[in-house]
Structure 1
Amino acid sequence: MLIMEIGKYLSLEHFCTCTKTYTKYADQIDPYPQNLDSIVAIQALNTYILDPIIDHFGYDNFQLTYGFCSPDLKRFLNQKDPKTGVKNGRIDPSRDQHMAHEINRNGKYYCSRLGAACDFLILTVKSNEVIDWIISVKLPFDSLYYYGQTASGSDRPIHISYSRQHKKALWAFTTKGTPTRKGTEKWQKAIKN
């Protein structure tokens, strides 16, 4: 167990062990970063993005659904559950920044964009309203993905990343998981102002 505060509210342990896949295979996964730069990036994500979000919406309303992805966790996400045959999860390490500054066997970063990312929900507020707030207070995010709602109407988590680039790239996703700018027009306009 690694207790290290990475912001005002979250520990490194919480950030690295919050996924369902980790919980399912905890005895087989080392969830922690191997590169100190990853910890620094995770701390920056907390300082500049998550701490202000939690300050505003409250810790009791905040649910981290996916934080750091270690190489071990990545391996399990890419596998199917032996009982159900369903893939454990999905990751796009070359783009999504969940692997922060981790380095692969070839000595290259899994994600050359660097920085760090997480997925979260605010339990008492719709995700689109959370994004309205993030943009209105001008949080310096790098990428933000709005996944919308499930068929039953419940909100899906927001993906947000932080890096030195502050690209403010904002994407929505279709029901089939295809990235699109459609549905983000008001946010794109607000970002430019």
Structure 2
Amino acid sequence: MSELTSTETKTILRITDCQLMHLRTLGKIAFEKRGGSFFYSLPNGHSALNHPLGNALLNWHKKKHDFPKTNEPIKQKSKLALERLLYEVLLPVNRSLGNPIITYGFTSFELKKHIQKSSPSGTAPTLDQHSSYEINSAGRQICSRGGAACDFYIEGLPTSNIVRFITQKLNYDRIYYYGNKRPLHVSIHLTDPLKHLQIMCESENGRRYPGKKAFGDQAIILAEGL
């Protein structure tokens, strides 16, 4: 199924309207017409990670960590999961609600080691899906859950609005909601999405702890009450 708008396709391929039209008329790009709009699949050799949101998924750490290496997925399954996170969550959110500002994205094994050494507080690499399907030095998957995850917010929009949109309309695995003025954590899974919404609470001394949770249709109801 074709999943990218004309604007998204032009941005990823770095081409003009005219060039996209020529690709379409020459049969060099797969597309569908829905109403008055075209939706595209990328040609072989191109990745949705070349979209600015894909770049943000990989390079989010540059403003936070003094990490000199590249933060690229090694496992092909990780790349597929990160692309699916774009297709199923970030791009639909961007079209409907506004630009997602990613505060925590993909975390390679090397970046994970750096963070665990320099600033591990609040991180849970074996659970949070930020390392996708990457493996550690012992050859074991860093996060047994797999999938892919990111934390983000939209400037000027309550986070609860984003949670309601995702639970009602999108295919997600897990959402962790920390409050209206904080980024949410959202993940996808390639095969078994749980559609799990977890509300996180904070004690008087600042310790976070899990509150209400729900799955599937019950998650939609829980999100309505935020």
Aligned-partner Cα distance in 2 for 1:11–1:128: 21
Alignment-derived partner of residue 178 in structure 1: 209
Alignment-derived partner of residue 57 in structure 1: 97
Matched, 1:140 2:167: no
User: What residue identity is the alignment partner of 1:165?
Assistant: D
SS at 1:64 equivalent: strand
User: What residue identity is the alignment partner of 2:104?
Assistant: Y
Aligned-partner Cα distance in 2 for 1:156–1:144: 13
Alignment-derived partner of residue 185 in structure 2: 159
Gap regions ≥5 residues in structure 1: 81-86, 150-154
Matched, 1:14 2:38: no
One of 156, 171, 174 as aligned partner of 1:124 = 156
Alignment-derived partner of residue 42 in structure 2: none
Aligned-partner Cα distance in 2 for 1:161–1:107: 23
Aligned-partner Cα distance in 1 for 2:153–2:116: 24
User: What residue identity is the alignment partner of 1:55?
Assistant: R
Q: CA deviation at 1:79?
A: 2.5
Tell me the TM-score normalised to structure 1 length: 0.77
With over 3 angstroms needed to count, the CA separation of the structure-2 counterparts of 1:130 and 1:109, relative to structure 1, is same
Tell me the TM-score normalised to structure 2 length: 0.67
**Is contact 1:95–1:111 with CA below 8 Å preserved after alignment?**
yes
With over 3 angstroms needed to count, the CA separation of the structure-2 counterparts of 1:183 and 1:166, relative to structure 1, is closer
Aligned-partner Cα distance in 2 for 1:65–1:187: 28
Give the structure with higher Rg (CA): 2
**Is contact 2:129–2:149 with CA below 8 Å preserved after alignment?**
yes
Aligned-partner Cα distance in 1 for 2:110–2:155: 29
One of 50, 69, 73 as aligned partner of 2:111 = 73
Aligned-partner Cα distance in 2 for 1:34–1:141: 23
Gap regions ≥5 residues in structure 2: 1-12, 14-45
Q: What is the count of residue pairs matched by the alignment? A: 172
With over 3 angstroms needed to count, the CA separation of the structure-2 counterparts of 1:58 and 1:112, relative to structure 1, is same
**Is contact 2:196–2:213 with CA below 8 Å preserved after alignment?**
no
Greater RCO (Cα-Cα under 8 Å, separation 6 or more): 1
Alignment-derived partner of residue 195 in structure 2: 168
Partner deviation per Cα, 1:149-169 (whole Å, 9 max, x = no partner): 5xxxxx110100000211011
**Is contact 2:175–2:198 with CA below 8 Å preserved after alignment?**
yes
Compare the two structures and name the one with the higher strand fraction. Answer: 2
Seq. identity, %:
28
Q: CA deviation at 1:19?
A: 2.7
SS at 2:111 equivalent: helix
Aligned-partner Cα distance in 2 for 1:8–1:36: 16
